Structure 1
Amino acid sequence: MTGKTHIMAGITVTTAIVAITDAYQPEWFIAAGAAGGLLPDICHSGSKIGRRFPAISKIINTIFGHRTFTHSLLFLALVALILSEVVSNTSITVGLLIGMATHLLLDASTKQGIKLLYPARITVRFPITARTGGKAENIILLLLTVVTLYYANRMIGIF
């Protein structure tokens, strides 16, 4: 999936959670969800985050490759551990982790799949897959946008 779809998925899920639970600081939670939606692609130099941090991206890609370690439950757990020690704002920590989880779900729906159980070499992918940048992804992006608007309306009540 492309960066815009990953960003929107993080925004969609965090917006829905805020609208339903009102448990987090919306501005931090939703922004963190968007950022977390990009974080696993730090392993790919052509990604939005990889272009922003090229040296880190190159190092991670050289060591692990694409869609392996940074697309795994191990990476998710490691980031959770680091965030729990470094970040005192729960909205940021949980938002980032939710965004990362949406990224993993979306990339598992592509033909390439992900190494969710890294270091095991098992590729995880859904039975029905979409091509990155293809029509199916554009439909997914549109649906995510509509769902975001629905929950944003519930959250702030403008429509």
Structure 2
Amino acid sequence: MTGKTHLIAGVTMASTIAHYTNYEPLALIISGAVGSLLPDICHGGSKIGRRFPLLSTIINTLFGHRTFTHSLLFLFIIAFVMNRFVPVEALTVGLLAGMISHLILDAFTRRGIRFFYPLKLTVRFPLTIKTGSAIENLIFTGLTIIFFYFLIHIVWVY
């Protein structure tokens, strides 16, 4: 999936959570955006990989693409670190929601993800979507509509 689709999925998931909880919406949405891009730190050409090229190169050299940073293990480590060092629960929830949305979307690609890393098992959905395809654009459009729906409800309530 492209960065824009990951980003809209992360903020859509975060805004949905904000709508149904008492967490600070802005904290959720911003951290959801960051979380939606974080798993691709292992890819130098990604939005976050270009922002942090040295870190991206190190992670890619150690683990490769769509392995460790696209795994349940990485989610647990990030959750542990966030719970331990970040006192704002909404930031943790948003970050993890964004990351989970990223993993779900990448599991829809032919390459899939190594969700159970370090096991060499690739997880992908039976129906796959080509990155940049019309189907991905349709998903992007649908997620954008859902995001604005929840954003309007969040703003209306606040």
Determine helix, strand or coil for the equivalent of 1:157. Answer: helix
Q: Deviations over 1:36-65 (max 9, x none)?
A: 000000000000000000000000000100
Q: Aligned pair 1:2/2:2, yes or no?
A: yes
For 1:88 and 1:132, locate their aligned partners in 2 and report how far apart those are by CA, in whole Å. 37
For 2:19 and 2:73, locate their aligned partners in 1 and report how far apart those are by CA, in whole Å. 30
What is the aligned residue count?
Answer: 157
Superposition pairs for residues 108-123 of structure 1, below 5 Å? 108-123=107-122
- What do you get for the CA RMSD once the two structures are aligned? 1.1
Which runs of 5 or more structure 1 residues have no equivalent in the other structure?
A: none
CA contact (8 A) 2:25 2:154 kept: no
Correspondence for 1:86: 85
Correspondence for 2:75: 76
Shift of 1:123: 0.4
For 1:42 and 1:154, locate their aligned partners in 2 and report how far apart those are by CA, in whole Å. 32
Q: Deviations over 1:132-152 (max 9, x none)?
A: 111111111000001111111
Which runs of 5 or more structure 2 residues have no equivalent in the other structure?
A: none
Correspondence for 2:15: 15
Q: Deviations over 1:51-92 (max 9, x none)?
A: 000000000000100000000000000011111111111111
Structure 1, 39-48 or 130-139: larger mean CA deviation: 130-139
For 1:81 and 1:24, locate their aligned partners in 2 and report how far apart those are by CA, in whole Å. 19
| TM-score relative to the length of structure 1 | 0.96
For 2:84 and 2:137, locate their aligned partners in 1 and report how far apart those are by CA, in whole Å. 38
CA contact (8 A) 2:41 2:48 kept: yes
For 1:20 and 1:119, locate their aligned partners in 2 and report how far apart those are by CA, in whole Å. 35
Determine helix, strand or coil for the equivalent of 2:120. Answer: coil
Correspondence for 1:143: 142
For 1:136 and 1:98, locate their aligned partners in 2 and report how far apart those are by CA, in whole Å. 23
Determine helix, strand or coil for the equivalent of 1:116. Answer: coil
| TM-score relative to the length of structure 2 | 0.96
Q: Aligned pair 1:97/2:96, yes or no?
A: yes
Correspondence for 1:155: 154
Shift of 1:109: 0.5
Determine helix, strand or coil for the equivalent of 1:88. Answer: coil
Shift of 1:35: 0.5
What residue identity is the alignment partner of 1:62? T
For 1:59 and 1:20, locate their aligned partners in 2 and report how far apart those are by CA, in whole Å. 38
What residue identity is the alignment partner of 1:19? H
